[in-house]
Structure formats: C-alpha cells, structure tokens
Amino acid sequence: MISSVTLASIPIVVNGKLNMVYENQTVLQSLLQADELVEHSCVDYGVNRQTHTVCATCSVKWINTTSHQRFKACQVPVKAEMVLQTRPFQ
C-alpha cells in the first residue's frame, strides 16, 4: 500500500524572487525545487531515491545570504523566510 504524505510549504526568497518550497529539506533541494540553476554533482541517490545523501565535499554549491553569510547548500536545512542569493550581488 502506498501512503500519501502531505508536505508543508514554506516561503523563501531566492535572488529577489519569492518561492514556496517544502520544509524539511536542504537549501540545495529547495533551490532545485524553485527551478534555480545551481551547480551540483555529488548527489548519491543510492537505493532509496526519496532519502538520498550528498557527499558535501565539493566547493561548487556555495550560497550567500543577503546578510553576507556563506554556506554549502547541501549541508544547511532550509528555514522559512530565508533570503538567498545564488548570483553575485549587484
């Protein structure tokens, strides 16, 4: 039997645009859900594609916040009302 799970959506702002994304996922997963182009190559889907893991050893997924914090998108859980910048600040 397949069970259905309802995922709650939370708002985040990416490059000045409001997006609704699922809670309880990483910033990288949220950016991909929001159709943002983010370089990523270390996702290991393994056996279970719903609970995939990431290696977090590369340096191509650095994300900036508008408060000038910098982190790897695959290591940080998304939080409601995050303001993210994937492109250089203008």
Domains of the chain: 9-85 (3.10.20.740)
Nearest to 12 by CA among 32, 34, 29: 34
Q: In the structure, what pLDDT confidence band is assigned to residue 47 with cuts at 50, 70 and 90?
A: very low
Does the pLDDT value for residue 48 go beyond 50? Answer: no
pTM value > 0.75: no
Q: Which residues of 11-40 are buried (b: 16+ CB within 10 A; e: fewer)?
A: ebebeeeebebeeeebbbbbbbbbebebeb
Does the pLDDT value for residue 29 go beyond 70? Answer: yes
